[in-house]
Structure 1
Amino acid sequence: MDTIGKRITYARESKNYDVNQLSDRVGVKAETILAWEADERDPRANRLLRLAGALDVGFAWLMVGEDYEPDETGDAGRLSSVEGKLQRIRHLYAELGGLITSLEQDTRFMMARDEELEELAEVDEASENK
């Protein structure tokens, strides 16, 4: 699939949408979808994003044919993918929480150390003035 139009057609047919169904989901006329599929016109970026969402494909795949193709396993495959992403987000959330706690502790330590150094500098300055 070497053109955007062919990828749109492929993804639409993979979802079993007719042109009217896709046009309703994207918010354009059916004639516009047909023009895109025939490579008579290219969709603008905002329409490509809506197409990608409506067709459950990646924006990069729709643009250049890389990164992702429609999942023919159906809802079960998409559910598994979503669960995997949620698990990764939970892991990252926990990791970020640990990093935030560590940074807070480091900041408190550095502030206390800075105060100690300021006090030492004041003592040193006072002893030099005597």
Structure 2
Amino acid sequence: MSNRKFQPAYGIDDTLGGRISLARDARDISVEEAAQTLGIEPVTWSDWENDRSEPLFDRLEMMASVLQVSVAWLADGRGTGPRWS
């Protein structure tokens, strides 16, 4: 039997939209609240979460700050991911 603790690897096999959604859930904020912080329409945020479109890099940087994750984690699942309270 192994003594290793289970450490989930959030985002490694996920999409950009999935990581955005996961990070937003970890922060416990709604799509509307998240969109408002970036100055965008909720439908735009929703499109990003559902992989219908992708944010430009400057929005990705702002989003990472709001969601308290690294840009690298949002982009490709590596780096500092969400922290669950």
Which TM-score applies when normalising by structure 1?
0.54
Residue 62 of structure 1, CA deviation: 0.4
CA shift at 1:69, angstroms?
A: 1.1
Residue deviations 1:30-86 (CA, integer Å, cap 9, x gap): 0000000010001100010010011000000000000111122x4xxxxxxxxxxxx
- Post-superposition shift, 1:7? 0.3
Please tell me whether residue 43 in structure 1 is matched to residue 55 in structure 2.
Answer: yes
The structure showing larger relative contact order (alpha-carbon pairs under 8 Å, at least 6 residues apart) is 2
Of 43, 56, 68, 2:68 maps to 56
Size of the aligned set, in residue pairs, is: 73
In structure 2, stretches of 5+ residues that fail to align are 1-10
> Equivalent residue for 1:20?
32
Seq. identity, %: 33
Kindly report which structure 2 residues correspond to 1:80-99, keeping only aligned pairs within 5 A, or say none. Answer: none
Matched residue type, 1:25: T
Report the CA distance between 1:27 and its aligned residue.
Answer: 1.3
User: 5+ residue gaps in structure 1?
Assistant: 75-130
**Cα RMSD over matched residues?**
0.9
